[in-house]
Amino acid sequence: MAINDITLAGGMRSNLVSLQTVTSLQARTTERLATGKRVNSAVDDPSAYFAAQNHRNRANDLAARKDQMGEAIQTVKAALQGIEGITKLIEQAKGLAASARSATGTDRAALATQFNALRTQIDQMASDGSYKGTNFLDAGSLTVDFNEDGSSSLTISGFDASTTGLGIAAAANAWVADTDIDVAVTDMDAALSTLRGNAKTLASNNGVVTARQEFTTSLINTLTGGADTLTAADTNEEGANMLALQTRQQLGIVALQLSSQAQQSVMRLF
């Protein structure tokens, strides 16, 4: 049976409608208090809802870019650590060359063999300097996107840090002649200069990516804060609303009871 099939007194129907309205408002206020949001769907406020959604979508896109920046930073760090290790090996090799100057015969040959062994270690270290498939010590490159559509980006290029790329040749003639040692020392000095120059370039690129990562973090926080401002509920206001609605509900129930009593008084006539 539909409610309209039941005839209610005017006062009772008015009180019933008022209670239904209060119940609806209580449900809305409860949702706002539970979620902390004034706008929970497009029905509540289409303009604020979709504007906030756009802010959050952009913040999510930037968060993905931020992760990519973090990976790029780690890739550069791996390369810088590799450069540091290779530098130490070259300095060790220079020590062998210095010792060979005062050595003769068999000792020079042994030192030359050790030098060649260090060359192998340099090649292996350059090969092992990769991170997530990118090796800046093997002439690898990486493009880092800074914004949503990739229109703002930075390409980081590596170099060949192997003995071939650095121009460090094997010990010639077992370092029998001083000139052979001089050639090796010259090669190593040039290699150290190359390593330092590329380290500065990588460090500079790393600084750019770090700065953009920090900026992106701030921008994400700004976008999220803007979305919250558009949709957040004032808990103090909603709490006051709830108290007021509870009072109205109690008064409505009392009014409904009074209306019912007025109808019941008719029964006393029988």
Strands (E), the chain: 141-145, 153-157
What percent of the chain is modeled with pLDDT above 70? 79
On whether the CB atoms of residues 113 and 137 are closer than 8 A, the answer is no
Q: Which residue has the higher pLDDT, 196 or 228?
A: 196
Same domain, 146 and 22: no
Q: Are both 11 and 118 inside the same structural domain?
A: no
Pair 165, 192 in one domain: yes
Percent of the chain residues past pLDDT 90, beyond the cut:
54
Do 140 and 198 share a structural domain? yes
The answer on pLDDT for 166 being more than 90 is yes
| Residues 124, 211 within the same domain | yes
* The pLDDT of residue 205 is above 80: yes
Q: Let me know whether 252 and 221 are in one domain.
A: no
Per residue in 61-106, pLDDT (tens digit) is 999 999 999 999 999 999 999 999 999 999 999 999 999 888 887 8
Domain residues for 157? 61-230
Query: Does the structure show a pLDDT above 50 at 1?
Result: no
C-alpha 76/C-alpha 86 separation (Å) is 15
Between CA 269 and CA 254 the distance in angstroms is 24
Identify which has the larger pLDDT, 156 or 47. Answer: 156
Whether 94 and 115 have beta carbons less than 8 Å apart is answered as no
Count the domains in the chain: 2
Please indicate, yes or no, if residue 235 is contained in any of the structural domains. Answer: no
Residues 256 and 170 in one domain: no
pLDDT, tens digit, for every residue of 181-199?
A: 999 999 999 999 999 999 9
Instruction: Establish if 105 belongs to a structural domain.
Output: yes
Establish if 56 belongs to a structural domain. no
Per-residue pLDDT, 7: 52
Is residue 170 domain-shared with residue 94, that is, in the same domain? yes
One domain for residues 100 and 160: yes
Q: Is residue 53 part of a domain?
A: no
Q: How far apart are CA 31 and CA 16, in angstroms?
A: 23
Mean pLDDT along residues 155-180: 92
174 vs 188: CA distance, rounded Å: 17
Same-domain pairing of 21 and 140: no
Spatial distance between the Cα atoms of 143 and 96, rounded to a whole number of angstroms:
40
Whether residue 211 is found in the same domain as residue 90:
yes
Q: Taking residues 242-266, report their average pLDDT.
A: 66
What average pLDDT score do residues 41-53 get?
83
